[in-house]
Amino acid sequence: MRPRFHPTGRALVLASLGLVLAVLSVVVSSQLAPLWVVFWIVFALALAVDFLRIGSGRHFRASLSLPPTLPVGRECAVPLRIEETRGKTHLTDVAISLSADLDPIPQTRVEIAEGRADLLLPMRVQRRGRVRVHSVHLRYRGPFGLVQCTVVLALDAESVGVPDIAPVQEAAIRFFGSSDFRSGLKIERILGEGSEFESLREYLPGHDPRVIDWKASARHKRLFVRQFRAERNHQILLGLDVGRLMGEPLAGIPKLDHAVHAALLLGYVGLRTGDRVGSYAFDSQFRGYFPPRSGVHAFPALRAQVASLEYGHDETNFTLGLTDLAGRLDRRSLVVVLSDFVDAVTAELMVENLDRLARRHLVIFVALRDPLFGEVTRRSPRTAGDVHRAAVLQGMVQEREKVLRRLRRSGIVCIDAEPLAVRTQLLNRYLDVKRRERIA
């Protein structure tokens, strides 16, 4: 796009002042005529100097170091370099033109000193998929601030919004970084609670006498106890609802992306602990299936499958989706269904089908709670509008609890948590289920 030149607000104010002087020289006294003539000559010269010093606007260059992928929901600093080929100094307003799936970047003012300026753009992707940074808009003025030039520099940089796996990496360090970590769970957390033999150790006061290994004790002539660990090689299926309701934003990104992040964290930990992990996606119909696999080497394929899920626009058909999901399981499994609901009426079919699924499999149902629900108990209403709003939210909370109580009566493990807490709660429930061997 060609540079655009236009007068600034300062120039318009001075021009108005010149017109006032011209009118006064006619109405009040002709002696004022030389004054407004001199004023307009000086004003015209200043405009000319500004226009000449501002240049053609074609001497700017911009380069953006946009990475090939950006994590959804996490702010990243992306370097932008602006160069002025003549090596001059300008105080420039910078605005960035972005695609709709990127958070807007506030306009900023930078000094291009000695022909170059480097700045970091805070970029945050709202949804998975391709995103573009179209152009950078520069606006700068001449030395007198009378003429303004706007330059649009094309960037046409493209990236892909992908699930944020930083929590997965943090979990790997937290759970698997220590040398005493075996089978995906710290030994001291699961010894004595599983059914798979782990090792022998010398008896200490406080050990359960029932786990004393008398044969080993006789051989060594001192008491030894058997230690057990949670059984491995269970099957976990991550059921992702990709329907219309899951596309609604919550805490800045769609509910589906919160579910994807939680599913990937659980999937990674499950693979590391020796379980087989797969995924299944549905809305009004089947949308994707990743057969359960074992080993950490399966995680990239699982991540790619989950990251490719599109945001659905149809209402979720739980009867079709959960029936098809159950038909793909050849043995008792841990099924984690990540979904959401609005009220007890619309959730009726969901409850019926989850109840049917729970008769054969262990089911964990994960719902994403809107942080607004927490405000019902945290805030005191001050106006009539606040009272009405609190009453509506309280009604929604009660409807939600009614559905969750029905699910719990069916033996389903329920998690109803805000986005920032859902990953930790899901992981803790999985570890608890594994220690108690509820899947077997």
Q: Where are the domains of the chain?
A: 1-160, 166-171+232-436, 202-228
- Asked whether the beta carbons of 369 and 416 are under 8 A apart, the reply is yes
Cα four-point dihedral sign 293, 326, 193, 212: negative
Residue 254 has pLDDT above 50, yes or no: yes
Separation CA 433–CA 280 (nearest Å): 21
- Tokens 């394929």 correspond to 301
Residue 14 has pLDDT above 90, yes or no: no
Dump pLDDT digits (tens) for 317-363: 999 999 999 999 999 999 999 999 988 887 899 999 999 999 999 99
Name the pLDDT band for 372 (thresholds 50, 70, 90).
confident
Q: What is the CATH number of domain 1-160?
A: 2.60.40.10
Burial class (CB in 10 A: 0-12, 13-18, 19+), 20: exposed
Residues 6+ apart with CB under 8 A from 205: none
User: Phi then psi for 15, rounded to 5 degrees?
Assistant: -65, -40
Tell me the DSSP string of 124-159: -B-SSEEEEEEEEEEEEE-TTS-EEEEEEEEEEEEE
Q: HSE (CB half, 13 Å, CA atoms) of 282?
A: 22
Q: What is the mean pLDDT of the chain?
A: 85
Residue 158 has pLDDT above 80, yes or no: yes
Separation CA 374–CA 399 (nearest Å): 15
Residue 1 has pLDDT above 90, yes or no: no
Q: Which helix (H) or strand (E) holds 391?
A: helix 384-409
What amino acid is encoded at 297 in this protein? H
Q: Cα angle at 307 between 305 and 309, to 5 degrees?
A: 80
Give the torsion through C-alpha atoms of 356, 359, 361, 362, to 10 deg: 100
Separation CA 233–CA 1 (nearest Å): 61
Dump pLDDT digits (tens) for 269-302: 999 888 999 999 999 999 999 999 999 999 999 9
Which residues sit opposite 14 in a β-bridge? none
Architecture of domain 166-171+232-436: 3-Layer(aba) Sandwich (3.40)
- Asked whether the beta carbons of 149 and 143 are under 8 A apart, the reply is no
Q: For residue 302, give the nearest of 332, 275, 329 by alpha carbon.
A: 275
Q: What is the pLDDT of residue 297?
A: 94
Name the pLDDT band for 197 (thresholds 50, 70, 90).
low
Residue 123 has pLDDT above 60, yes or no: yes
Pairing of strands 286-293, 334-339: unpaired
3-class SS of residue 299: helix
Separation CA 300–CA 222 (nearest Å): 48
What are the tokens at 198? 């782990």
Residue 256 has pLDDT above 90, yes or no: yes
Separation CA 292–CA 202 (nearest Å): 39
Q: For residue 434, give the nearest of 301, 271, 291, 316 by alpha carbon.
A: 271
% of the chain surpassing 70 pLDDT:
89
Residue 104 has pLDDT above 80, yes or no: yes
Q: What is the pLDDT of residue 114?
A: 78
Q: For residue 259, give the nearest of 71, 69, 422 by alpha carbon.
A: 422
3-class SS of residue 281: strand
User: Phi then psi for 329, rounded to 5 degrees?
Assistant: -100, 125
Separation CA 93–CA 437 (nearest Å): 61
Separation CA 378–CA 375 (nearest Å): 5
Which residues sit opposite 120 in a β-bridge? 79
Name the pLDDT band for 192 (thresholds 50, 70, 90).
very low
